[in-house]
Amino acid sequence: MRKSAKSLLLIGVLVVSGGLWAQQTPVQNQPQQNPPQQKSPNQERQSEPTTTIRVDVNLINVFVTVTDEHGAPIGGLTKENFILKEDDREQRIAVFDRESALPISIALAIDTSLSTRHDLPLEQASAKRFAHAILRPIDAMSVYSFSEVVREAPSGYTADLRRIDQNIDHVYLGASTAVYDAVYVASRALDKRKGRKVLVLITDGEDVDSKVDYKEALRAAQEAEALIYSIIIVPIESSAGREIGGEHALIQLSDDTGGKYYYATSTAQLDDAFRKISDELRTQYLLAYYPSQRTSFSEFRRIDVKIAGVPEAAAYRVRHRAGYYSVKSAD
């Protein structure tokens, strides 16, 4: 009976500590069936960690941004102000938190193709100001440059601002653009990170060289629980000859992951976009739930969140990822 009670206690500890970050926990080695020979107390303590248990964790994390009609983030909401549904079935919110305390991993992806070369120095300067404003010691940023090839800075994810500045200053230049490849590569790396995960894209939106398509890029971002913020660089927002299809794809990527898109035609607008992203990341909410009985056989589970119990709720805009895949795609 003591061994059984100990195993139940260990299961409880594992579920509480692992539920927030993982949707599935891999199967570890099975417990030994034959008891070992008599050992000394020191040997027993060393052998205890080999006892392993299968744990299935299905906690779904939903990172939510709430803004007013002017786009300003809304703070101070409580769990009772949120109604969360999966496939139209209301779910019980098991975990509620304001996100400012959780670490953030930011993938900063900068378009370095020929079409953006003229504005690149301004983008780099603005990106460095953003990094200095948003990053705390518990956060980390990795710098990606993408043209026809996606390259991550050698240092990877780091909170060292001096190194981040160097990485932004020394991005690789190229000719054409592979936006979807950048989303896919950065999302796969973010998938391995804990806490909040954000992908900031600085690009003119034109994709001509990606090896993966839009659906693959979106799925990778959704599986990583990454919020995509797109900063679309255009000389004049209504100018002719722009690649509107690429811009629409970036807008949809941002919407489906719970992020946002911004147009920038000047340094001031670049700085403003980065400031708004920073403000949002400081006022997000985390809602987490254990899905109730499935109502759909679809691999993709759709999520919907609404605000209730406050007079201004009808004017609020709620942003979150559109849903999640019940089975992850193979790497």
Percent above pLDDT 90 for the chain: 68
pLDDT in tens, 26-53: 333 444 444 444 444 444 434 334 333 3
Burial of 301 (0-12, 13-18, 19+ CB in 10 A): middle
Contacts of 266 (CB under 8 A, 6+ apart): none
The predicted structure's pLDDT at residue 245: 80
The predicted structure's pLDDT at residue 260: 97
Tokens of 280: 């949002």
CATH topology of domain 58-331: Rossmann fold (3.40.50)
Higher pLDDT, 254 or 5: 254
Q: How far apart are CA 224 and CA 213, in angstroms?
A: 17
Question: Hey, where are the domains in the chain?
Answer: 2-50, 58-331
54-68, 93-107, 113-127, 165-179: range with lowest mean pLDDT: 54-68
Name the pLDDT band for 18 (thresholds 50, 70, 90): very low
9-13, 111-115, 242-246: range with lowest mean pLDDT: 9-13
Q: Of 177, 164, 72, which is closest to residue 127 (Cα–Cα)? A: 164
Higher pLDDT, 146 or 331: 146
Tokens of 213: 């398509």
Higher pLDDT, 156 or 55: 156
3-12, 91-100, 305-314, 320-329: range with lowest mean pLDDT: 3-12
In the predicted structure, residue 6 carries a pLDDT above the cut 90: no
Mean pLDDT of 60-82: 94
Name the pLDDT band for 284 (thresholds 50, 70, 90): very high
Contacts of 251 (CB under 8 A, 6+ apart): 230, 261
pTM of the model: 0.79
Name the pLDDT band for 326 (thresholds 50, 70, 90): confident
